[in-house]
Structure 1
């Protein structure tokens, strides 16, 4: 099948050029200014919309196998396609945990059958994703997993993380670390800040995140491993990673749209504002934005974490941790960061499309003849309101509900196939 996109502002890596793009056999066949529609199976008139490499989310929860009442690989990838993602990397808090070849193949079989975009799963670091104890057989999993993570659980003992890093360094694999010191949590569930104290909640201190990052950066320097830090949320985390990079540590990191656009003063007594790590202070938010500006933060990932309506209906104290984000990420970030002049559109594309591929070794990211056709078409003038009832995801809990946004994906092409269209 051949597909032609006419008159798009095409991302070239240095800016945008108005071009026609002919797609054939899953790849970009021809770029030009007046490609004929003769013999083309499908033609899309871009009308000055922006064509970029598809977004990549290196931190999602698709919940299958084991928790398909929250989300499935089918619905999660449909949500990704709608949001402009052509690849996602699901975390291993599943049942069975992908801690062996047998278990990860359960997930891979469903991906092969039901996914509409590319899915590259993580294997766990420890058996059962316990954050301590027996490590997985990294060698047997290296070709099946994009990397290794115990997301949802921090690796509690430095010696366990050191051994995991040594193995991953030997195999050339990346560790994507959820950093959390269990002994410092003390039953907390929102940030230990102004809102927490004013409303008599139990707080999560910032040190529970950054202390483990500091430990791991030392170990990463010792072992030479590729070390990626998940969902950083504190100013101290930014400082530690900035210094580690300057010291030659092979460390990268991500943060999420909600940490860049909200703080604990935005909290409401509603489960849709509860996630881990929690929304931190305004000072933390500003430090994250500075980390974006100076290159300390490499990636924006959503930590898309769907739950059932019942699980999110119990307020801040009782609700499950996690919010959905695949369908709102671009609109939120374009509206709150690009339109305000905080970052450029090109910088946002680096954070959402280019850098994730470079760090995790994924294909695509370049619009050029012969490259894989994983593309999205953005309508930067589209204005819309976040309405969870319209989500493709089974999860509906989002702190962005009701937000008025500008900028929306209208066409997703993955491997040359149209997997979402709203033109």
Structure 2
């Protein structure tokens, strides 16, 4: 039997001892209580540091199979655990794409064997993510796909999206949308705005996101499907989601830390580390995202963890790959910028990064109570340090936050009672 004892952990301002047997929290007692049969336990002394429910990220790219020079399920899950995450949802844009029942079966097995944390799997809406057809959503829903998405591609064909929503609704699954109208992208590599003009780089029109989102919200209203907006980035999109919620559309939305903390006014040079899709928008957009998160229009924070090789993130934004890593920096950045700066309390941050992501997808929340699954992380919230890519467990080092000073260091992560990360 796997038995772990967490000594001297801070839980709701009290110092307690927590015992875990196999995957379940068995007891929570005062740290002054006598520990019986101590030699039976693997002991971790938290030294008064804070225990939190395991973090959850509904948007990660583990690149496995087919692109394992960027990341693997093993390295990606270790990076997640290093960041305090016990649960992630993996996108289907690997090679081969998870667009059929057999590919999904293969991924579900691979996630189970290779990941040190709970890794749920998305399947795609259409073949190869970009074809004008629909995948077998009914079968893949029954096999265990967490939801359906063409992440990396907007669904250009309205009929394909409509049919996907009907099938997803029938199976009580969500459609997760990367909203992007290709006819408005114009080969852009940066937001269409002052920075693009100054640097002479082709810009991506924000209407590419909001116009397709408006279409999808009408379809979601008619079908009744749970429609989830991935990496929302514009003020217009936030307002559309706000209005749709008021009208009773079953819509949820996520925002990434980089869209909350960065905008295109901060792009002073041709810097590939500032290239992502959707791109960093204007300061006005960023403020709208923050306001939307604070007022509940946006439901959660998700990293869109997108590892690339050093070569792929070098040179010019014209040729570099889109995307940055985020699993190992997300909590510390959000804790530092939102909690330490007094915008919200820790409970609210955990709502965005643990409770809401699971509740939104009809999964049981991570809780620290007797009888609950031991999905938890211990953090030193007072630790101040400089983000260093050499400390990343991800293969990807592509982050614009390198050298940023932050608070909050992961000491221990347990996923289903097993040690996924230990400092």
8 Å CA contact 2:272–2:314 kept in 1: the answer is yes
Q: Distance in 1 between matches of 2:60 and 2:34?
A: 40
Contiguous gaps of at least 5 residues in structure 1: none
8 Å CA contact 1:101–1:140 kept in 2: the answer is yes
Q: Residues 307, 166 of structure 1: CA spacing in aligned structure 2 closer, same or farther, 3 A cutoff?
A: same
Deviation at 1:119, TM superposition (A): 0.5
Deviation at 1:74, TM superposition (A): 0.4
1:140 corresponds to which residue? 139
Deviation at 1:8, TM superposition (A): 2.1
2:262 corresponds to which residue? 262
Tell me the secondary structure at the aligned position of residue 148 of structure 2.
coil
Q: Distance in 1 between matches of 2:55 and 2:330?
A: 10
| Structure 1 segments of 4+ aligned residues over 4 angstroms from their partners | none
Q: Distance in 1 between matches of 2:227 and 2:177?
A: 8
- Greater mean alpha carbon deviation, residues 146-155 or residues 266-275: 266-275
Deviation at 1:170, TM superposition (A): 0.8
Q: Is 1:37 aligned with 2:26? A: no
**What is the TM-score normalised by the length of structure 2?**
0.96
Q: Distance in 1 between matches of 2:402 and 2:363?
A: 32
Q: Is 1:272 aligned with 2:269? A: no
Deviation at 1:38, TM superposition (A): 3.1
Q: Is 1:308 aligned with 2:309? A: yes
After superposition, residues 65-104 of structure 1 pair within 5 angstroms as: 65-104=65-104
1:184 corresponds to which residue? 184
2:286 corresponds to which residue? 285
The alignment yields a C-alpha RMSD, in angstroms, of: 1.2
Q: Is 1:155 aligned with 2:152? A: no
**What is the TM-score normalised by the length of structure 1?**
0.96
- Greater mean alpha carbon deviation, residues 272-281 or residues 45-54: 45-54
Deviation at 1:42, TM superposition (A): 1.8
Q: Is 1:167 aligned with 2:171? A: no
Q: Distance in 2 between matches of 1:240 and 1:408?
A: 36
Instruction: Select 2:23's aligned residue among 3, 21, 26.
Output: 26
2:109 corresponds to which residue? 109
- Greater mean alpha carbon deviation, residues 249-258 or residues 43-52: 43-52
Q: Is 1:3 aligned with 2:38? A: no
Q: Distance in 1 between matches of 2:121 and 2:330?
A: 21
> Deviations 1:12-36 (Å, cap 9, x if unpaired)?
xxxx554321111210111121443
Tell me the secondary structure at the aligned position of residue 318 of structure 1.
coil
Q: Distance in 1 between matches of 2:217 and 2:37?
A: 55
Q: Distance in 2 between matches of 1:246 and 1:400?
A: 36
Deviation at 1:362, TM superposition (A): 2.6
1:245 corresponds to which residue? 245
